[in-house]
Chain A
Amino acid sequence: GQQLNQSPQSMFIQEGEDVSMNCTSSSIFNTWLWYKQDPGEGPVLLIALYKAGELTSNGRLTAQFGITRKDSFLNISASIPSDVGIYFCAGQPQFQGAQKLVFGQGTRLTINP
């Protein structure tokens, strides 16, 4: 089945730094979603992208749907301690139903104060 490669797997940064992570696939996706998971909680949706080239922001977060429809990135500007957590990309493969999401392996973000 389709797989998503998310990188990096983990990041250790200083508070205030910008963060960038991405997700790639060998096949075309119709939708890209970015989620954040805090310890002991379920993933929470951050940004949804539906069109190739789409660039969407949510506060300090910005995500883009790649032109080839095979990748997406998430940027976090001026990181703060509450940004710590695991970030997941998720995508809807082309020709799959609207309920069929594939998740990346996650990027674990750690921030040194």
Chain B
Amino acid sequence: DTAVSQTPKYLVTQMGNDKSIKCEQNLGHDTMYWYKQDSKKFLKIMFSYNNKELIINETVPNRFSPKSPDKAHLNLHINSLELGDSAVYFCASSQATGVRGRSEKLFFGSGTQLSVL
């Protein structure tokens, strides 16, 4: 069983379109994330939700809107897609370690490769 699953795997679309990527985790984790990996493989956090509440919102255009209907799901909707949005988007989840301040280990999905033409 896949721990963190995201769909679709590949997404090819025209500039200006609106698209969504879905993510589900069956690990029982409280926290979910969206990361963006650019063409140079650099990974950067976009958003993080803890129990459906937004806790991290990095400098991301308003065209990106995450939605968490429950703690096992975190979807990403992107409006008015631009060429620069082309990248691989990774969903991830983590669970509190129980040790105050200790970093949580991330479990990543297999990514959604978005190509904007």
Q: Which residues of A contact B (CB under 8 A)?
A: 30-31, 33, 35, 37, 40-45, 48, 50, 86, 88, 90-92, 97-101, 103, 105-106, 108
Contacts and interface: CB of A to CB of B under 8 A. Distances in A.
Contacts of B48: 99
Interface string B39-53: 011111100101000
A63 to B, nearest CB: 14
A105 B104 contact: no
B90 A98 contact: no
Given A41-B110, A103-B42, A97 B105 contact: no
A98 B92 contact: no
B interface, size bucket: 20 to 34
Interface in B44-103: 44-45, 48, 50, 55-56, 90, 92, 94, 96-97, 101-103
Given A42-B90, A99-B55, A33 B43 contact: no
Nearest to B43: A103
Given A41-B111, A42-B92, A99 B41 contact: no
Interface of B: 4, 31, 33, 40-45, 48, 50, 55-56, 90, 92, 94, 96-97, 101-111
B41 A106 contact: yes
Nearest to A43: B108
Contacts, number: 70
A106 B44 CA distance: 12
A92 B108 contact: no
B27 to A, nearest CB: 13
Contact of A30 (B55, B102, B108): B102
Given A88-B43, A98-B103, A99-B103, 4 more contacts: A42-B110, A86-B41, A100-B56, A105-B42
Contacts of B44: 103
Nearest to B107: A45
Contacts of B107: 45
A90 to B, nearest CB: 8
A45 B93 CA distance: 12
Given A31-B102, A99-B31, A99-B55, A40 B110 contact: yes
